[in-house]
Amino acid sequence: MTGLVMVAKGGGGGGGGGAKGGGLTSCEEEQRQNQISVVALLLAALRKSMVSCRVDRRDEVMSSAVHHMEIGWPTNVRHVTHVTFDRFNGFLGLPAEFEVEIPGRVPSASASVFGVSAESMQCSFDSKGNSVPTILLLMQERLYSQGGLKAEGIFRINPENSQEEHVRDQLNRGIVPDNIDVHCLAGLIKAWFRELPSGVLDELPPEQVLQCNTEEESAHLVKQLKPTEAALLNWAVNIMADVVEGEESNKMNARNIAMVFAPNMTQMSDPLTALMHAVQVMNLLKTLIMKTLQERVEIRAQQEENIHRCRLIHVVALPTRSSIVTKRWKRAAN
């Protein structure tokens, strides 16, 4: 963009308004300064307009270049390695050059495994398909492998505080120490539920829990829970049912195990209200435990029946010795 600026300069003709060869009068000097100011303003405006045009033109060129830019397909592709992800161990098969930037183990969203929501923790599926924090599964596996289900008073006897604090610190680092007292493990499982930001059963209205008396009502009530809480409850009920199946050794029946778990499944500020509600929750847990045990009995009976049927079918399909002899005799007679 170009522009032409014309400035007319007035002369001082006539009469005795000026002197030949002399200096400018004060009036002429003032006019000259005004003209210079006007010229300066016009030049500034012209310069600004030219800069704006250049910027607009540059943006148009860049926009046109981006619009016509095409990204081609990758070339020289090689399959170097196969990397998989495991919930327990993180990335498996990761090349050495990537291990510095990408941690092999998935970092936890929290520095502690206690007192945080299950959504913020690394989770895995149990044998029933429940997605629960991996640390719970690790503690459960260690509890079972060390014979915790046969220990008398399991989940009822409190461990020593010093040992529990040490194990808690190790668990926060993602480590399950060896040779842990089974009562310490059981106590930490209860502590995990107790220290949740909100109780697993807090979503259930207390009046509905109070009115829940049958297995059908209990099953219908717990369907109100969100998926995370429902999975945690199902996992806890199954571990309580496992304890009850070893009642002959551990002396823990359905009522006993429900009693020690109930206070850890809800959170209420008023102690008296919490105690009364814990009794209702205990009855609910007991009903769910008995329902789970009955379902296990029915499943085992069905499995045994299926095995028996398979054996009968196999026996009927086999030819008898007499039929084989008869067929051979007929062939010989012919």
Residue range 63-115, pLDDT digits in tens: 555 455 567 777 777 777 777 655 445 566 767 666 555 444 444 445 589 99
Rounded distance between C-alpha atoms, residue 176 and residue 145, angstroms: 13
**Per the confidence metrics, is the pTM higher than 0.85?**
no
| 8 Å CB contact between 277 and 268 | yes
Pairing mode, if any, of strands 131-133 and 123-125? antiparallel
Q: What is the pLDDT of residue 274?
A: 85
d(CA 186, CA 138): 12
Cβ within 8 Å of residue 212, ≥6 positions away: 218, 221, 283, 284, 287
The two structure tokens encoding residue 88: 């327990």
Residue 243: is it exposed, middle or buried by C-beta count within 10 angstroms (0-12/13-18/19+)?
buried
Which pLDDT score is estimated for 329? 53
Cβ contact 281:266 at 8 Å: yes
Percent of the chain with pLDDT over 90: 46
The pLDDT of residue 104 is: 45
How far from the centroid of its chain's Cα atoms is residue 232's Cα? 14
Looking at residue 61, its pLDDT comes to: 52
CATH 1.10.555.10, domain 118-315, yes or no = yes
What pLDDT score was predicted for residue 326? 57
For the packed helices 134-145 and 227-245, what is the interaxial angle rounded to 10 degrees? 0
- 172 contacts 112 by C-beta, under 8 angstroms: yes
Q: Domain residues of the chain, as ranges?
A: 118-315
Contact between 167 and 186 under an 8 Å Cβ cutoff? The reply is: no
Q: CA torsion sign, 91 to 95 to 96 to 97?
A: negative
Q: What is the phi/psi pair of residue 124, to 5°?
A: -145, 165
Are residues 133 and 139 in contact, defined by beta-carbon separation less than 8 angstroms? no
Residue 257, burial from CB neighbour count under 10 angstroms (0-12, 13-18, 19+): buried
Spans of the chain, pLDDT less than 50? 1-22, 51, 55, 66, 87-88, 102-109
The C-alpha angle 200, 203, 204, rounded to 5 degrees, equals 100
